[in-house]
Homo-oligomer: A and B are copies of this chain.
Amino acid sequence: MINNKRLEHEMEEVSKFGALKPRGINRLAYSKEEKEARAYLKSLMLDLGMQIREDAVGNIFGRLEGREDLAPVASGSHLDSVPYGGCFDGTLGVFTALEAIRVIKEKGFSHKRPLELIIFSCEESSRFNMATMGSKVMTGKLDLDKIKSLKDKNGISIYEAAKDFGCDVDNLDSAKLKKDDIYAYVELHIEQGPVLENKQIPVGIVTGIAAPIRYELIIKGRADHSGATPMNMRKDALVTAAKIIVGIEDIASQKIWKTLVATVGFANAVPGVLNVIPGEVKLGIDIRDIDKNNLEKADELIIELIENLVKKDDLKYELKQLSKDYPIKLDEELVDLIEQEAIDLGVEYIKLPSGAGHDAMHMPEISTLTGMIFVPCKEGISHNIAEEVNMNDVFQATEVLSKTLLTLANK
């Protein structure tokens, strides 16, 4: 039903804005490249007869009115990328949503509710160290002070960048939406994990979005000469750090969890040279689950592990919680509806959690129903120029998305 060639062509066209050679994109939030991509998209939205509105931080809403004046059914994602990112994270969700809505209009299917395409501003945390800025503003989580205080590495604040981008950012409050202002929001995204590809399934119906608890752990030993200090006189912070890394892996790998993951992303030793025993090591710890109880249980076990191992080795530590977000369970009613559409279309699917965060996390606060559809990405790789999808998976997932939006728009 959808136009595969057109979708494929538009994905190729949009990949030119910020294109890297041989592949990938650099399309940071509020950059010239993002502006170009938005202009291209807006021209397609106008061709489709959408009414376009931009809010105070540049979130774009493209609307096709329905038969009745009801809360709209929306789909979309973001056009900004991480530095040296791939062509699909975010952008695929925007262009599949456009195609899904466009085909409804082209085929003349009647819809009671308006259909909206939403493009969120500044979803990636790369530029301003904060993710999902656009949906946070939409759900009233950020004020002007915060927007002015978060700066990129050149000292430019979100406020300045948005203003420079042409946004009426001083009217920040006007961007805030209320509960049920949107009837349903369904976002298509690449999985950013290996599960769908491993199982060779084109569609993942997302049951929940995991939230991370994050720590910075500093282990304090004593820097000594690595040649002159007998093994039994050492306070080697890296050895204790290594025991903690192995311990966290063991805890997270236990069979008692279903969806828990825990990762140590770095282990920075100071001074970090061959002839000195590491006196201090900084670990970055990320614990996630869509199950809030298990997340908290694992968090406790990991804190206990750190305490015990550091004490046993007679070292000291500082544990700083960087963030603690709660996981979001997506609406079962919508999961069931997407499932039924997939069955009707004969598209293979599984249900799975999202380990990565998305704008959809915030949408339950303003949207009656919120859901997500995943497509496999090659080797689970994302945030990388090597990000890749199989377009046949994308076509099938877009059919499911389009049918889902149409069904929702007649509820």
Interface residues of A (CB under 8 A from B): 125, 191-195, 198, 210, 212, 214, 222-233, 236, 238-239, 241-243, 245-246, 249, 252-253, 259-269, 272-278, 284-286, 288, 322, 354-357, 379-384
Contact = CB atoms under 8 A, between A and B. Distances in A.
A246 B249 contact: no
B381 A214 contact: no
B286 A193 contact: no
Contacts of A193: 224-225, 227-230, 233
A227 B212 contact: yes
Which 5 A-B residue pairings sit nearest by Cβ, starting from the closest?
A193-B228, A227-B355, A228-B355, A242-B245, A226-B263
A356 B225 contact: yes
A194 B222 CA distance: 12
Contacts of A249: 231, 236, 239, 242
A66 to B, nearest CB: 35
A149 B406 CA distance: 70
A381 B265 CA distance: 31
A277 B214 CA distance: 14
> What's the number of copies of this chain in the assembled complex?
2
A42 to B, nearest CB: 30
**Interface SS of chain A: helix, strand, loop or mixed?**
mixed
A71 to B, nearest CB: 30
A112 to B, nearest CB: 36
Contacts of A288: 226-227
A192 to B, nearest CB: 4
B233 A194 contact: yes
Contacts of A231: 249, 252-253, 260-262
A275 B261 CA distance: 11
Given A224-B193, A356-B225, A276 B383 contact: yes
11 contacts: A192-B225, A194-B224, A224-B379, A227-B356, A231-B253, A236-B263, A238-B266, A241-B242, A246-B246, A265-B274, A266-B269
A249 B239 CA distance: 7
Given A227-B210, A246-B246, A265 B276 contact: yes
A132 to B, nearest CB: 13
A380 B242 contact: no
A225 B278 contact: no
Given A233-B198, A266-B272, A225 B383 contact: yes
A99 to B, nearest CB: 25
A228 B273 contact: no
Given A192-B228, A238-B265, A246-B246, 17 more contacts: A191-B228, A193-B225, A195-B233, A212-B274, A226-B261, A226-B265, A227-B288, A227-B356, A228-B382, A238-B267, A239-B245, A239-B246, A242-B249, A265-B278, A272-B284, A275-B383, A276-B383
A227 B357 contact: yes
A273 B263 CA distance: 10
Nearest to A284: B274
Contacts of A243: 242, 246
A253 B232 contact: yes
B245 A266 contact: no
Of the listed residues A223, A238, A381, the one surrounded by the most CB atoms of chain B closer than 10 A to its CB is A238
A245 B283 CA distance: 15
B246 A263 contact: no
A330 to B, nearest CB: 15
A273 B284 contact: yes
Nearest to A252: B231
Nearest to A224: B380
Given A227-B356, A229-B193, A264 B246 contact: no
B269 A227 contact: no
